[in-house]
Amino acid sequence: MKRPARRGLKKADRTVQLDALFARLSAHGYRTTLPRRAVIEAFARLGRYITAQDLRDLMASERAAPVSRAVGLATVYRTLDVLREIGAASAQAQPHGETAFLYCPVEHHHHAVCTECGNVDDVPCGSVARFEAALSRELRFKLTQHRLEFFGVCRSCARA
């Protein structure tokens, strides 16, 4: 199982993002218990979609604090659902019926997903405003939300 780190995100930046996320959880009325923190920290290190079971297995196999290894699957599922609810995780149905999740920073963005290694890079969404205006003008359609993912082969896999 490959475990690439999210590209372009320094440890200090991840710490700032996690602090903002924990504050956001608190603002939504959720506690940041040690097990929930362990799930979020392990999840945030990944740069790809992962199922709750695979995340739990990854946490159990890591040389980490005992709290990470002892987190139950139900806690992982609940934490991922809470993150999706507040917009800090994206969910994607998998062909075998399970749902895979991707950690998302607080600001809105899109994804470029490598079909070879599964790595996911963040893509800024600056051009969506023009698309929204065209939808409104040409189809009289009011866009309330959107989700956009690009699929292809990343630079590392293209070189291989």
Average pLDDT over residues 118-126: 76
Q: Do 96 and 128 lie in a common domain?
A: no
Please state at what angle helix 52-61 crosses helix 73-85, rounded to 10 degrees.
120
Tens of pLDDT, residue by residue over 69-90, are 789 999 999 999 999 998 889 8
List C-alpha distances in Å: 114 to 46, 50, 101, 108, 154: 14, 14, 15, 20, 5
CA distance 126 to 108: 10
How many structural domains compose the chain?
2
Domain containing residue 1: CATH number? 1.10.10.10
Write down which residue in 67, 88, 105 finishes a domain.
105
Domain containing residue 119: CATH number? 3.30.1490.190
Write down which residue in 87, 105, 123 finishes a domain.
105
Write down which residue in 77, 105, 133 finishes a domain.
105
Q: Do 112 and 101 lie in a common domain?
A: no
Q: Residue 127's pLDDT is what?
A: 66
Q: Do 83 and 116 lie in a common domain?
A: no
Q: Does position 13 have pLDDT exceeding 80, yes or no?
A: no
Q: Does position 35 have pLDDT exceeding 90, yes or no?
A: yes
**Pick the residue with more confidence: 64 or 2?**
64
Q: Which domain holds residue 143?
A: 108-160
Measured CA angle at 87 (ends 18, 4), to 5 deg? 55
DSSP-assigned states of every residue in 109-133 = -EEEEETTT-BEEEE--TTHHHHHH
DSSP letter at 8 equals T
Q: Do 41 and 81 lie in a common domain?
A: yes
